[in-house]
Amino acid sequence: MHLHILGICGTFMGGIAQLAKAMGHHVTGSDTNVYPPMSTQLEAAGITLYQGYDTAQFDPEPDVVVIGNALSRGNPAVEYILARGLRYSSGPQWLAEHVLQDRWVLAVAGTHGKTTTSSLLAWILEHNDMKPGFLIGGVPGNFGVSARLGDAPFFVVEADEYDTAFFDKRSKFVHYHPRTLVINNIEFDHADIFANLEAIQTQFHHLVRTIPNNGLIIKPANYPAVEQVLARGCWTPLQGTGDGAEWQARLHQRDGSEFDVVHQGKAVCTVQWSMLGDHNVSNALAAIAAAHHAGIPVNNACESLAEFKGIKRRMEVRAQVNGITVYDDFAHHPTAIHVTLQGLRNKVGTSRIIAILEPRSNTMRMGVHANTLADSLQQADAVYLYEPANMGWSLARVQQQLGGKAHLEHNTQDIIQHVSDTANAGDQILIMSNGGFEGLHQRLIDSLKLKFSH
């Protein structure tokens, strides 16, 4: 079968492409931004890519077009598909019908921590010879790819609450029908498609309705927004993570790099790993609980985590130059920014932290987080706020709240110049963006290398 995928260079749709190729299908695709690393992954898999959405890409016509949720009515490719009556599907629907059917699906949902928890869970299963399939919104270091077909029965999927397609406004995750579900947390996000927190909770309620009574839902203890969802109806056994719950952590190190896993009141094993922060300890507990549901002993899961290599763009060390460490992180919501900075602070103590933020998400650019952004950045010693031309509000108010440590910049070269001029040995530079940030990461590294080469 010939699948043509519109929006193929997004992590999710690129993953769909790789799964379809592994199943033996002929796969082509297009996007407005055909760029590495996804374009490299796809081309290495033998997938032909087209730049843009010109209708010439439909010659010859594919058997089915899988349409990403970034495409909408008015797009020339979409209009051509509808006018010609071509068969089309969404990515989540195609995944559900062709990959997830008859498999034990382990889904990880929530506003934060989905990519990390999914990666941890897939690695625990892999390390214990389960050979899982997976589709993850990032690139786990242990695998080097974001998607893999794997051997039945287990399949780990990052379960996103964003909408499915222009013709299906349900959240992606309602298609997946997991047997094991992790709900990490629920906060207001995606203000471009959700009116309020309750609208997001409704989608999570729809997800809960799909979990069988012989499945398992793993959720955080004492989390009101999650409890409100479950109060609408739940027909599945529950297990909790956190204080007073079935699964708890007892920290040995304040930065979360070593902790005991406590199951039903008993310390079972100790995790020593490279990840940092209370949020990652919580992610690990959820992954261990989900793996346990799939048959992995807790001790084995703890051993697996010792060899976890992290995820690209999740506190990824990009370079160390003259004692200066440069990190790349995906954080783009105040909660994620706060926990990322807190984890780094617990690791580096009094070392100077320089935070550089690109407010790139639709929600951030709409100003939804205007009142909480400054507080989330308090752990940094210096903050550089990048304000692009198309912001819907001014970051000047955040700069004012942060005082003299904050700098408001309108072009990336000024950020690079200022940070390079002031950075010294021992500094920790944390770059936070869910996009490319005009290549700022490498440009800053190159600038630092040049500074210290003289």
Region of 105 please: left (phi>0), alpha (psi -120 to 50) or beta: beta
Q: Please identify, among 56, 91, 126, the residue that sits at the C-terminal boundary of a domain.
A: 91
CATH number at residue 193: 3.40.1190.10
Distance CA 196, CA 187 (A): 10
Are 267 and 218 in a shared domain?
yes
Residue 96 domain flag: no
Are 276 and 340 in a shared domain?
no
Task: Give the pLDDT score at 437.
Answer: 87
Residue that has been written with the tokens 């390079």 in this structure: 420
Report the run of H or E that residue 118 belongs to, with start and end.
helix 114-127
Nearest alpha carbon to residue 81 among 21, 30, 144 = 30
Range of the structural domain that residue 66 is part of: 2-91
Are 36 and 170 in a shared domain?
no
pTM of the model: 0.84
Instruction: Provide the domain count of the chain.
Output: 3
Are 128 and 255 in a shared domain?
yes
Mean pLDDT value across residues 289-308: 96
Nearest alpha carbon to residue 182 among 298, 288, 286, 301 = 286
**Strand 147-148 with 133-135, pairing:** antiparallel
Separation in Å, CA 183 to CA 70, 161, 337, 443: 25, 11, 20, 37
Are 231 and 297 in a shared domain?
yes
Checking if the pLDDT of 130 tops 90, the result is: yes
**pLDDT tens per residue, range 147-185:** 999 998 999 999 999 999 999 999 999 999 999 999 999
Residue 310 domain flag: no
**Least-confidence region, from 67-76, 208-217, 333-342:** 333-342
**pLDDT tens per residue, range 59-97:** 999 999 999 999 999 999 999 999 999 999 999 999 999
Are 66 and 153 in a shared domain?
no
